[in-house]
């Protein structure tokens, strides 16, 4: 119980901190005389995050997961302070790279910790709680930090953020001593196909050949499907946050109106993150809600391409948010299913690296295709392609990469 709630606290701290920087970075870059450095700094952070996710995911399988995440939070606290000493745009970009590298230690270890503590038949619900935590952080972090920075100044806001990170990191280092161990994962394995029916979660111990080596197993098909879907999800989300303000400007909306409309995305996602939909990946298996979620995100993105007024945009964002809310718990639970407890950090390292890759590539690809296809249309097509690739991979013969669960 203690380890599970510590995992949730680590998820909250990591994502709150990431989201809290959006108003602060703008002020720091403006103070350096180069507001455009914000975009380059964000790219440096994402690049470091992509590489670090893989490295620290492997490390989280070899030492106590929460201590890896705790060390990452302490590193984030230290590099947060370095932002205050950046005296040029290049120094700011370098600091963001180091900060992204430290942050990369937290998510794979924390997600693996959540999965370790959740039995297979409750894993999707646990990941829906993770999504709920992230959604709440996205609503709270930017306005709170923005008000602190504008009211008290950038330095006090950054120092308070760093102090909170350091405090949680020390707690994780002190109390997060449980190491990943073998033998548990097989009992929590969930079917994604097989005798229990297509896409149905069994919730029963695995009887397949993977069960005998549960600690070190890694199902490459499920891991690849998880990474593909994660890339498509984050591709669309970053395109949404990049293109939505531009779309609003085209339609004569203020930034406040655009911000208000984006809350429809959060509402749609929250509907899926709470019961009864939060249990869909456990009740129906990972695949049906995953495909339904990608289908809804595609529909929402195509809807946004055609929208010409605020009510239509709000409806499109709500549909997109509902799809995201279904897909996120399913793909994270699927990644947890793909690996035994001794390889789960690496599995989530792959997943979070794919999230980072999608975040980097999405805006770049849509800008490259500007004039040929609208950004939302490109993102919708990528989501459809991700669903098609996932379905095709999971329909392959079991001998190539057997599904986890009864009948495997």
Shared domain for 10 and 100, answered yes or no, is yes
pTM of the model: 0.81
Alpha-carbon distance 24 to 21, whole Å?
5
202: in domain: no
Q: Any idea what the Cα angle at residue 49 is, between residues 9 and 55, rounded to 5°? A: 90
Alpha-carbon distance 98 to 131, whole Å?
26
Q: Percent of the chain at pLDDT above 90?
A: 43
Please list the ranges in the chain whose pLDDT falls under 70.
Answer: 1, 36, 177-215, 255-256, 396-408
Helix (H, G, I), strand (E, B) or coil at 275: coil
Pick the closest to residue 51 from 112, 110, 101, 102 (CA basis). 101
| Cα 294 off chain centre by | 15
Helix (H, G, I), strand (E, B) or coil at 210: helix
CA atoms within a 13 Å half-sphere pointing along the CA-CB vector of 7: 23
209: in domain: no
Shared domain for 171 and 222, answered yes or no, is no
Shared domain for 265 and 171, answered yes or no, is no
| φ, ψ dihedrals at 397, nearest 5° | -55, 145
Paired tokens of 21:
């920087």
Shared domain for 134 and 36, answered yes or no, is yes
| φ, ψ dihedrals at 239, nearest 5° | -65, -40
Q: Residue 325's domain is classified under what CATH number?
A: 1.20.1250.20
Last residue of a domain, one of 119, 148, 175: 175
Quote the pLDDT of residue 397.
Answer: 56
Expressed as residue numbers, the domain containing 152 is 2-175
**179: exposed, middle or buried (C-beta count within 10 Å: 0-12, 13-18, 19+)?**
middle
Shared domain for 44 and 164, answered yes or no, is yes
Shared domain for 273 and 340, answered yes or no, is yes
212: in domain: no
Distances (CA, A) of 125 to 144, 151, 253: 28, 39, 37
63: in domain: yes
Residue owning tokens 């920087």: 21
Quote the pLDDT of residue 405.
Answer: 35
Residue 306 · residue 151 · CB < 8 Å: no
244: in domain: yes
79: in domain: yes
Neighbouring C-beta atoms of residue 181, cutoff 10 Å:
11
Residue owning tokens 């900060």: 99
């Amino acid at each position: 119980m203690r380890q599970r709630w510590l995992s949730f606290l680590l998820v909250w701290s990591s994502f709150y901190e990431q989201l809290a920087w959006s108003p602060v970075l703008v002020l720091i870059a403006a103070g350096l005389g180069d507001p455009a450095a914000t975009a380059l700094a964000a790219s440096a952070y994402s690049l470091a995050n992509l590489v670090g996710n893989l490295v620290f995911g492997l490390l989280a399988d070899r030492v106590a997961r929460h201590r890896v995440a705790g060390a990452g939070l302490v590193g984030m606290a230290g590099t947060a302070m370095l932002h205050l000493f950046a005296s040029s745009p290049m120094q700011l970009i370098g600091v963001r790279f180091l900060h992204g590298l430290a942050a990369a230690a937290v998510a794979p270890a924390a997600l693996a910790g959540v999965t370790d503590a959740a039995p297979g038949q409750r894993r999707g619900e646990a990941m829906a709680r993770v999504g709920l935590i992230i959604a709440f952080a996205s609503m709270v972090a930017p306005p709170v930090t923005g008000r602190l920075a504008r009211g008290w100044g950038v330095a006090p806001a950054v120092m308070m953020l760093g102090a909170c990170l350091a405090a949680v990191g020390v707690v994780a280092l002190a109390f997060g001593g449980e190491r990943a161990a073998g033998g548990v994962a097989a009992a929590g394995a969930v079917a994604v196909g097989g005798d229990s029916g297509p896409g149905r979660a069994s919730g029963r111990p695995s009887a397949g050949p993977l069960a005998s080596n549960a600690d070190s197993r890694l199902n490459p098909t499920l891991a690849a499907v998880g990474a593909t879907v994660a890339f498509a999800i984050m591709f669309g989300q970053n395109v949404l946050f990049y293109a939505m303000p531009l779309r609003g400007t085209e339609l004569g909306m203020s930034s406040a109106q655009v911000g208000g409309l984006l809350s429809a995305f959060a509402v749609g996602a929250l509907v899926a993150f709470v019961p009864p939909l939060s249990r869909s990946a456990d009740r129906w298996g990972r695949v049906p809600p995953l495909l339904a979620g990608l289908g809804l995100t595609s529909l929402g993105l195509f809807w946004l391409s055609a929208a010409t007024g605020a009510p239509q945009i709000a409806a499109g964002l709500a549909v997109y948010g509902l799809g995201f809310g279904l897909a996120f718990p399913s793909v994270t639970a699927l990644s947890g299913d793909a690996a035994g407890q001794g390889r789960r950090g690496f599995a989530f390292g792959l997943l979070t690296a794919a999230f980072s890759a999608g975040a980097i590539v999405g805006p770049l690809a849509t800008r490259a295709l500007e004039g040929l296809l609208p950004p939302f249309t490109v993102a919708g097509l990528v989501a459809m392609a991700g669903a098609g690739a996932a379905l095709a991979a999971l329909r392959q013969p079991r001998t190539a990469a057997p599904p986890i669960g009864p009948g495997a």
